[in-house]
Structure 1
Amino acid sequence: MARTPGRDLTPLFDPTSVAVVGASDDPAKYGHAIAAQALRAPGRRPVHLVNRRGGTVLGRTAAPSLAAIGEPVDLAVLSVPGEGFEAAVEDALACGARALVAITAGFAETGAAGLERQRAITARVRDAGAVLVGPNCLGVADNTTALYLASGTFAPGGIALLSQSGNLALELQLRLAPHGSGFSRFVSLGNQADVTLVDLVDDCARHEGTSAIAVYAEDFGDGRAFAEAAAAAGKPVVLLSAGRGSASARSAQSHTGALTTSADVVAAACRDAGVHLVATPREMTTVLAALGSQGRRAGRRTAIFTDGGGHGAIAADAAEAAGLDVPELGEAAQARLRGMLWQQSAVGNPVDLAGMGEQDPGSYATTVDALLSTDEVDAVLLTGYFGGYAASEGDLGDGGADLAQGELRAAREIVRAHAGRPKPLVVQSMYPASPSCRLLADAGIPVFGATEDAARALAALTVDEPAGPAAIPPLPPPSSAVRDPGYHSLRALLGAAGLRFPAARHITDEAQLLSAAAEFEGPYVLKALHLLHKSDAGGVALGLPDRAALLAAYREMHTRLGAPAYSVEAMADLSDGVELIVGVNRDPRFGPVAMVGLGGILTETLHDVAFALAPVPPARAERLLRGLRTAGLLAGARGRPAVEVTAAAEAVARITEVAAAHPEIAELEVNPLLVRPDGALALDARAVLA
């Protein structure tokens, strides 16, 4: 489904004129840094400095107010104390400002009163047809339009950085510099009172000067809208998110709620949206360097190539830890390599020159070319000493110059081989700053000093073709609200959606129990209702062979629990079946989030679960199920027959569709969902209303 075009942020990123309110000659004030940056491109657009005392600022005449400028202002930076902010906003709007950047504090971040002030200002700005970044932000910059309204200077490049941390932007700049990467835009998100992260992702997706979008976010606002925008961006989106390890704030009342953490939700949203999720600024730099250096994408089969066994083994471990495969090369590929290398070289994968590089630096290039050309691998990781000869020329004795020159020639040959092949190549070197490695980096081949960084970079370039394009499933229209979350009402709701259950009857006394038992044959199941965790309370009796056993179980259970109602059900055939759990937990930021995994009594013990934004289409549900650690049980194990995974996936789709259509349901769970060779059957269900 196509997304609605985003807001027009042209006045924010390419205004016709700029005014800095609060400009100052005092280096301790933020208005000083902003004014100095704004004046870096005086020929691009008029820049007005405003200081209530007038006079001069940075050698320029300052106006005592916006009105005193005497001409319209398109964008106003308001670097003023919080108590004067409302007045500054009114002055800016009166001067025709279409964009405001609020470098001030004391609003939503301070509590309820600050939030109310912030909402009133936002409403005023929107009523005027303007846009507002902040408050509590550190400015914006756009290298493609020579707009510099942040305290730092950002090297030009193709990355749009949307961040809730100014210091993180500085760190990323330092880390990206060795890779030759820079920024198209920088936006400090602040409180996102008006212009949100979603607005900015939408706009950067349309921005021709942006090739990748980097996000550091502590608060997503509408997380689902962010995922939708990222999925539709058509450009790589890399997310570093804080606070993902904390459990959900809701006091969960189901297995689903108890097992769903913020980390799970964010990871599921990123996977569904095709977002690269990273954990540290270093990892973000690694992924951005890989994505920005080559537009190539490949599968996971990776060739490891080195001139030292230790580096090869370590790189192979790092590659597999990053989710890559390191397959043994077939006989044809090995035979070709044996014909090129000397006898002691290893050719299985990792491929190890075993010292041949020192005798013939050109062997690096010929081997890289051979590995890039074979159909048996999708990508190549060169690791170890390459770069060392050029870096250590003076320390290598009489032959040092020849080795250095040979390595530089090999680097140029590697560049040519890479240019003629569609596969990614990533390099890890002990000497990443050496002339040979810089030659590779300048040609768009990522070079890293750490093995784990090189492996992570390659992982960022992989694609899983069976998963299809990234997309966030649309939420269905809300259905009539559920008022009764009771067991039989929930069965009826899910049954109407196509989910199959065993026969069951609601009973409150012995007469109703015996009447229910006459409607279908045993064995029977007896469940005490109005207990959230019936099994834990001893409220479930299974495999009751006849009516006498059913009646005895009822009398014992009722004496012990005194439940107001019970369910009499036909006992399902558990032989050859696998019990799954399917649940949906409603996250305050991302909406309904589905969980699937091994169910029954093993749910919390094994914690073998997977997550996705709900509703989950059948094809995606099947991928989740087949990706479980215990997926081998579904395919049949120790002589057991395979179960019908497609039926389980269809059941997941129906359950998650119901939950997504009922925003009043905070938690919905089917546990267990019995999957057998002949289909899927829901054996129990529960729901918690918000």
Structure 2
Amino acid sequence: MAASRDLSVLFDPASVAVLGASDDESKYGNWISVQALRMAGSRPVHLINRRAQPVLGWPTYRTLAEAPGPVELVVIAVPAAGFEPAVDDALRAGARAIVGITAGFAELGPDGRAVQERVAQRVRAAGALLLGPNCLGVADSTTGLTLASNPLPPGGVSLLSQSGNMALELSQVLAGHGLGFARFASLGNQADLAAADLILSCTTHPGTELIAVYCEDFGDGRAFVAAAAEATRVGKPVLLLTVGGSAGSVRGARSHTGALTSDSAVIDAACRAAGVYRVASPRELANLAGALCGGSPGGGLALAGGPLGGGPPSGGPFGGGPPSGGPFRVGRTLGGGPGAVRVRRVAVLADGGGHGALACDLLEAAGLAVPEFPPALATELRGQLPPSAAVSNPVDLAGARDISTFARVLAAMLGSAEVDGALVTGYFGGYGEYGPALASAEVAVAGAMADQARSHGKPVAVHTMYPDSPAARVLAERGVPVFGAVEDAARTLALLGSGGTVTVVAPPPVAPPVTADGYWDARQLLAEAGVEFPAAALITTADQADSAAADRAARAAAEIGYPVVLKALGLPHKSDAGGVALGLTGQEELRAAFADMSDRLSAPGYCVEAMADLTGGVELIAGVRTDPRFGPVAMVGLGGVFTEVLADVAFALAPVSAATAKQLLTGLRSAALLRGVRGRPPVDLDAAAALIAVVTQVAAAHPEIAELEVNPLLATPHRALGLDARIVLA
């Protein structure tokens, strides 16, 4: 488990003060004071105003020193010029936690960052905590703490946001799904407390059932991963909304690995390692949270064990909000650990051909499969439906007049081992408009559909043109997420399979540093770790005439056995510079290639290497690049000359296990080449995966290596070996 800081004083202080309290409704000091006074009956609240004028009808004090009794948590909402002295006043008054509402620090440039860092160091030296600065406050519905700029309904979601306005939007869209909040923390500039600290504190918070995060700067990315992984392990899903995709952080990379790695790809890799659900918008976050939690209109995931919920009942100090359901850990009945809802193959149930076809397109665009049903299931469905109904997937009810058909067909689909989940789309929810009898029947069928989803333990999402109908409300209340847009239903099902499983591998011990970055050095480093390379010999040219070096190369080639490869050393891209001669079949060809390279390249040395048999093999790339936030990141993909052209690559935090490496390989677009296609034999995936795992272990053990790469890595039907290697030192 990751190391945790005790944040109890931040979320459950014995007393609080607002420094910068104001009667001006346009100021944060006023907004925070309004919220602070809501808890005046449960803990001492002191308002500090340098003029000592009443605020909101309450008396104020000029300084914290004048306030009666100790103050554990101080919220500071003063102009930037007064922030540092205000922090000093708070620390002198014995504050153990400070919330900095004030803006105007690191976000403005180096001078502001210097002040921010100086203040943070002072706070840490005093043994206190600092949230922010440049934030909207903090709240905890389980302790009655209301020190955020806006009121929030209670519930089971802990919302952590680096952006203030994004926090407000997320709180609104989540509340719109009937979801309330256990905790809220506005991260701001993260001068002291970072997202990782807040996530880790939520893992042991009884009221937190789900953690929603908006973060732009992860700081220590590995700390974030460790905290999120711990939350995943204890069954508290982490949903992340972030920005990225810029290539700015990798413009200086000099290898294929660096050139093909983007910020967004690294964040995706971090999310996969920690089991985090990465979403693309506030709406996606709310839809997924609604599917994982109890809530309306999104409902909660109808799996055995009840909807994820918990938290305080409605009517608490946050005000309003629906009561939450019982505690639930996603994946409790599905296997794979908390949060592991593995949705890959989806059955589509529609009451119209157009809706069914569109749902299939959207599901496949979201990365899911809509496979043809096995014959046994198709036969079972054929017996329940009119002759004109489609039963191969999607299923089109084709005007089936018995509304109970929805529940029976759904039960049959979910009962198949070939189905991981289902999407129902179309008119269901609107049949009740045709009369009271049909309305009653539709509500009953909705309950039966929810029962089927729960009993089979598989996710079901419902898209309906009538999301506010009685039947839709029954589905939502019984834990089946309901959507007014089919694309939201499809995307949410896809997101359910994107997180919940931790794959973080502990880093190896730090090894003695590497000081040389040539091909031979990279080859030797990897070979000592267990990576197989073709037999080879090093030919140095220092202090030798070209003829003597050529003689040594010829003798080495004779010992290795022809055909051989001649490689010039000391070149960033040997092939591009004409520093590689392949398939040399005898001494005459070898000497000619050596003479040509000597004339053109003035290389400090050469490598004579056995020519690998490429028959039946596939060239791959295995690389590791050190990301400034998340540390070593592994890249696996199609290699050789196609690496940058096709960009068929996958990423994971390094080191990776052989099992994870194999998953990366089989997830490539070109994976069919590895499994064998058009008469080509399948390659030894286990051998390739084991070699990739070793490369990532070596890179992770050497923090001085910025990039490490084996390209090509030749995977054959019987083994895997490296054909070239490259080191870039930090």
Q: What TM-score range do you get, normalising by the shorter chain?
A: over 0.9
Question: Aligned ranges for residues 329-408 of structure 1 at < 5 Å?
Answer: 329-356=373-400, 359-390=401-432, 393=433, 399-408=434-443
Contact 1:382 1:428 in 2 (8 A): yes
**1:538 pairs with one of 578, 589, 592:** 578
Contact 2:348 2:360 in 1 (8 A): yes
Aligned equivalents of 1:452 and 1:507: distance in 2?
62
Aligned equivalents of 1:333 and 1:639: distance in 2?
33
1:431 aligns with 2:431: no
In the alignment, what sits opposite 1:474? 506
Aligned equivalents of 1:352 and 1:187: distance in 2?
47
After alignment, is 111-120 or 137-146 more displaced?
111-120
SS of aligned partner of 2:241: strand
Aligned equivalents of 1:654 and 1:88: distance in 2?
53
Aligned equivalents of 1:245 and 1:265: distance in 2?
11
After alignment, is 667-676 or 363-372 more displaced?
363-372
Question: Relative to structure 1, is the Cα distance of residues 561 and 515 closer, same or farther in structure 2, using a 3 angstrom cutoff?
Answer: closer
Size of the aligned set, in residue pairs, is 676
> Could you tell me the TM-score, scaled by structure 2's length?
0.89
In the alignment, what sits opposite 1:272? 273
1:36 aligns with 2:34: yes
SS of aligned partner of 2:201: helix
Contact 2:250 2:258 in 1 (8 A): no
What one-letter code is carried by the residue in structure 2 that aligns with 1:422? G
**1:461 pairs with one of 462, 475, 496:** 496
Contact 1:578 1:633 in 2 (8 A): yes
**1:554 pairs with one of 594, 605, 625:** 594
Contact 1:593 1:614 in 2 (8 A): yes
Aligned equivalents of 1:683 and 1:366: distance in 2?
57
Question: Relative to structure 1, is the Cα distance of residues 141 and 374 closer, same or farther in structure 2, using a 3 angstrom cutoff?
Answer: same
SS of aligned partner of 2:364: helix
- The CA deviation string for residues 438-466 of structure 1, in whole angstroms up to 9 with x for no partner, is 221122211111111111222233379xx
In the alignment, what sits opposite 1:644? 684
Aligned equivalents of 1:683 and 1:595: distance in 2?
17
* 1:419 Cα deviation after fit: 4.1
Contact 2:356 2:395 in 1 (8 A): yes
**1:611 pairs with one of 651, 654, 661:** 651
What one-letter code is carried by the residue in structure 1 that aligns with 2:237? P
* 1:249 Cα deviation after fit: 4.1
- RMSD of the alignment, in Å? 1.9
Question: Relative to structure 1, is the Cα distance of residues 388 and 222 closer, same or farther in structure 2, using a 3 angstrom cutoff?
Answer: same
What one-letter code is carried by the residue in structure 2 that aligns with 1:261? S
In the alignment, what sits opposite 1:202? 200
In the alignment, what sits opposite 1:309? 353
SS of aligned partner of 2:171: helix
**1:500 pairs with one of 523, 532, 543:** 532
In the alignment, what sits opposite 1:155? 153
* 1:681 Cα deviation after fit: 1.9
In the alignment, what sits opposite 1:671? 711
In the alignment, what sits opposite 2:71? 73
Question: Aligned ranges for residues 28-427 of structure 1 at < 5 Å?
Answer: 28-233=26-231, 234=234, 235-292=236-293, 293-294=300-301, 295-296=330-331, 297-356=341-400, 359-390=401-432, 393=433, 399-427=434-462
SS of aligned partner of 1:277: strand
What one-letter code is carried by the residue in structure 1 that aligns with 2:350? T
Contact 1:513 1:568 in 2 (8 A): no
In the alignment, what sits opposite 2:522? 490
What one-letter code is carried by the residue in structure 2 that aligns with 1:616? V
Question: Relative to structure 1, is the Cα distance of residues 655 and 376 closer, same or farther in structure 2, using a 3 angstrom cutoff?
Answer: closer
Contact 2:250 2:262 in 1 (8 A): no
* 1:308 Cα deviation after fit: 0.9
1:624 aligns with 2:671: no
* 1:370 Cα deviation after fit: 3.5
1:516 aligns with 2:514: no
After alignment, is 369-378 or 163-172 more displaced?
369-378
Question: Relative to structure 1, is the Cα distance of residues 68 and 581 closer, same or farther in structure 2, using a 3 angstrom cutoff?
Answer: same
1:589 aligns with 2:646: no
SS of aligned partner of 1:572: coil
Aligned equivalents of 1:527 and 1:332: distance in 2?
59
Contact 1:179 1:446 in 2 (8 A): no
What one-letter code is carried by the residue in structure 2 that aligns with 1:279? A
SS of aligned partner of 1:57: coil
Question: Relative to structure 1, is the Cα distance of residues 495 and 331 closer, same or farther in structure 2, using a 3 angstrom cutoff?
Answer: closer
Contact 1:71 1:95 in 2 (8 A): no
After alignment, is 516-525 or 359-368 more displaced?
359-368
In the alignment, what sits opposite 2:316? none
In the alignment, what sits opposite 1:396? none
Aligned equivalents of 2:215 and 2:498: distance in 1?
25
Contact 1:75 1:97 in 2 (8 A): yes
SS of aligned partner of 1:319: helix
What one-letter code is carried by the residue in structure 2 that aligns with 1:475? P
* 1:28 Cα deviation after fit: 0.8
- The CA deviation string for residues 416-475 of structure 1, in whole angstroms up to 9 with x for no partner, is 4444442222111111122221221122211111111111222233379xxx94131222
* 1:379 Cα deviation after fit: 1.7
Contact 2:633 2:653 in 1 (8 A): yes
Contact 1:514 1:547 in 2 (8 A): no
Question: Relative to structure 1, is the Cα distance of residues 376 and 543 closer, same or farther in structure 2, using a 3 angstrom cutoff?
Answer: closer
Contact 1:161 1:214 in 2 (8 A): yes
SS of aligned partner of 2:435: helix
Question: Relative to structure 1, is the Cα distance of residues 439 and 649 closer, same or farther in structure 2, using a 3 angstrom cutoff?
Answer: same
> Could you tell me the TM-score, scaled by structure 1's length?
0.94
Contact 2:250 2:261 in 1 (8 A): no
Aligned equivalents of 2:613 and 2:452: distance in 1?
61
In the alignment, what sits opposite 2:296? none
Question: Relative to structure 1, is the Cα distance of residues 94 and 232 closer, same or farther in structure 2, using a 3 angstrom cutoff?
Answer: same
What one-letter code is carried by the residue in structure 2 that aligns with 1:348? S
Aligned equivalents of 2:92 and 2:420: distance in 1?
59
Aligned equivalents of 1:204 and 1:178: distance in 2?
23
What one-letter code is carried by the residue in structure 2 that aligns with 1:589? R
After alignment, is 516-525 or 141-150 more displaced?
516-525
Aligned equivalents of 2:537 and 2:521: distance in 1?
12
Aligned equivalents of 1:522 and 1:417: distance in 2?
67
What one-letter code is carried by the residue in structure 1 that aligns with 2:288? V
- The CA deviation string for residues 575-629 of structure 1, in whole angstroms up to 9 with x for no partner, is 2222111111110000011111111111111111111111111111111112211
Aligned equivalents of 1:367 and 1:646: distance in 2?
41
Gaps of 5+ in 2: 294-299, 302-329, 332-340
The ranges of structure 1 where at least 4 consecutive aligned residues each deviate by more than 6 angstroms after the TM superposition are: none
Aligned equivalents of 1:286 and 1:247: distance in 2?
31
Question: Relative to structure 1, is the Cα distance of residues 609 and 463 closer, same or farther in structure 2, using a 3 angstrom cutoff?
Answer: closer
After alignment, is 664-673 or 296-305 more displaced?
296-305
Contact 1:298 1:424 in 2 (8 A): no
* 1:329 Cα deviation after fit: 2.7
After alignment, is 168-177 or 52-61 more displaced?
168-177
Question: Relative to structure 1, is the Cα distance of residues 249 and 649 closer, same or farther in structure 2, using a 3 angstrom cutoff?
Answer: closer
Gaps of 5+ in 1: 394-398
